[in-house]
Each structure stands twice: as C-alpha cells, then as structure tokens.
Amino acid sequence: MSLLAFSSDGRTLTAARRMRKVLRWNVETARLLGPPLLTPVGSALNLHGDTLTTLTTQGRKALATLWNLTSGRQIGTHEVPRAANAARLEP
C-alpha cells in the first residue's frame, strides 16, 4: 500500500495501491464499497481522510481529481502541468 487512511467518522478505510487502484472498505462489514475509483499515478489524502486527490495522465495532459471518500463521488478535476508526479493536499 502506498496510502492508507480512515475517514473522520471511522467508517471507511481507503487504500491506494502501487498497482494503481484506489479501494474503499466499510470498516464494520469489511466489504468493498464499489469498484476501484480510478488508476492514479499519485494520490494524497487530507488530514481527516475524507478527501482524496489523485493524479492521472491522459496523453499530454495530467489531471488532478478530487474525490469525496464518504460518497465515492468526484468533486472536481483540474488540469496540472504534465511534469507533476505527485499530488499534495494542504489542510
């Protein structure tokens, strides 16, 4: 695992794997919460574990995508310089 965090309410565990998958589990049932979110190049969580930023590449573009990990929904996507190779969140 390259990233592992619990949501602020402790109900969801999120893991970003080196195999480029972001997985979410319900802690109480130990069941996966849907399919992997995407195939990131890099990822970072905020301090509370509720928002995930992933970095993906599409041709000549690099895209930073924000995810709400409680709902598993995408918050937004922003184009970033292609040279970017890691994502970082500030509190």
82 or 9, higher pLDDT? 9
Average pLDDT of the residues in 8-21: 77
Confidence of residue 3 (pLDDT cuts 50, 70, 90): confident
What is the gyration radius of the CA atoms in the chain, in angstroms?
Answer: 13
Tell me what pLDDT residue 74 has: 87
Enter the pTM of the model: 0.64
Residue 43 CA to residue 52 CA, distance in Å, equals: 7
Average pLDDT of the residues in 20-46: 79
Decide: residue 85, CB within 10 A, 0-12 exposed, 13-18 middle, 19+ buried. exposed
Average pLDDT of the residues in 69-91: 69
Tokens standing for 40?
Answer: 């990131």
Identify which of 8-17, 45-54, 81-90 has the greatest average pLDDT.
Answer: 8-17
